[in-house]
Amino acid sequence: MESRRRFLQTAGALLGALLMPAGSRGAERLERRIPKTGEALPAVGLGTWQVFDVAGDAKELAEAKETLRVFVDSGGRVVDSSPMYGSSEQVTGQLAAELSVRPKLFVATKVWTSGKQPGIRQMEDSMRRLRVERLDLMQVHNLVDVQTHLTTLRDWKAAGRIRYLGITHYHSGAHAELGKLVSKGDIDFLQVNYSLVEPEAGRRLLGAAAGAGTAVIVNRPFAEGAMFRRVKGRALPDWAKEAGCASWAQFFLKWILAEPAVTCVIPGTRNPRHVADNLGTLSGPLPDAALRRRMAEHFDSL
Ligand SMILES: NC(=O)c1ccc[n+]([C@@H]2O[C@H](COP(=O)([O-])OP(=O)(O)OC[C@H]3O[C@@H](n4cnc5c(N)ncnc54)[C@H](OP(=O)(O)O)[C@@H]3O)[C@@H](O)[C@H]2O)c1
């Protein structure tokens, strides 16, 4: 009886998820559902590369703490780290504990080494530094020794040590391999670069992810900040208000989120004003296809 009840609950949750539009708005904030489970996530998260690698500097640590506080207060949940990011995992774990926000976060990190046992050791160290017993999402960073780690991650998921498994890369040269792995069907999350200056994933990869029921996290949404240099000193066009954009950051993020295959975008910042700006993208309208094309044409003309 119990297993039948569980089956019906799971089937009901999945049916509900399928019936929801790919992108939908809660009362206040834009959320997207993880295709494999129907779990909803706020569509803007926080990247920690470089910006949270601040363990040795009290001033920068305080900035990171205020950024995480504003992030959670503004409805953010997804935080992405990696053992490659210096002290970022340790700082994220420490600040989440100090702010008592750990239960609100959806914590993602990565494995970035070769070999089964080194991978296991690294993932256990990451979980200790992040102060989690069960990780929301573990991703194979830049496809390093991907088959070895996916085998471990499947076992860890079955044992309940992680909730979701994923793969990441930051460069279009890896999109073909990412697409092949995603098409096999058991990848919960794909993390990949996608932006107005790096739009390649939109050609095939995001469609492959949608077809395979794989959630998509977008990294490098501002091409590491380079996009702000292109618009420096330029006002937003008036028509950008139709898409609910109050800043260039929101213009860039809304262009990304108008693609329904995208589950969450993770801009990196240690600036509380910037994180509030980025989370502001969760409210207001998204551009339709025509407006999205206009946004791309305008940005290309600058
Ligand atoms: N292979 C991988 O798995 C991989 C590769 C790359 C990135 N990632 C993940 O993706 C995250 C994001 O990528 P990224 O950090 O490389 O680049 P990004 O998010 O495209 O750009 C970060 C830069 O944008 C600036 N910024 C952020 N919000 C802003 C705002 N509202 N207004 C003005 N400037 C703003 C930041 O400066 P301030 O600090 O001054 O705000 C920072 O210099 C990383 O942190 C990491 O978690 C993963």
Q: How far is the CA of 267 from the centre of ligand 1 (A)?
A: 4
How far apart CA 265 and CA 257 sit, in angstroms, is 8
pLDDT tens, position by position, 90-110? 999 999 999 999 999 999 999
Q: Which atom of ligand 1 is nearest to the CA of 50?
A: 45
Alpha carbon nearest to ligand 1 atom 30, residue: 274
Q: How far is CA 12 from the centre of its chain?
A: 26
pLDDT digit string, tens, across residues 65-88: 999 999 999 999 999 999 999 999
Whole-prediction pTM value? 0.92
Q: How many residues does the chain have?
A: 302
The one-letter code for the residue type at 93 is G
Residue-level pLDDT at 243: 79
Cβ atoms of 75 and 104 closer than 8 Å: no
d(CA 132, CA 164): 14
Contact 130, 115 (CB under 8 A): no
What number does the ligand 1 atom closest to the CA of 82 have?
Answer: 47
CA of 301 to the centre of ligand 1 (A): 23
The one-letter amino acid code at 192 reads V
For residue range 13-69, list pLDDT tens digits in order.
443 343 344 344 444 689 999 999 999 999 999 999 999 999 999 999 999 999 999
Distance of CA 277 to the CA centre of its chain: 17
Which pLDDT does position 302 carry in this prediction?
Answer: 93
Q: Which residues form the pocket of ligand 1, taking CB atoms under 6 Å from any ligand atom?
A: 47-49, 51, 80, 141-142, 168-170, 191, 219-225, 228, 249, 266-271, 274, 277-278
What is the best residue among 60, 66, 217, 222 to mutate for testing ligand 1's pocket, by most ligand atoms within 8 Å of CB? Answer: 222
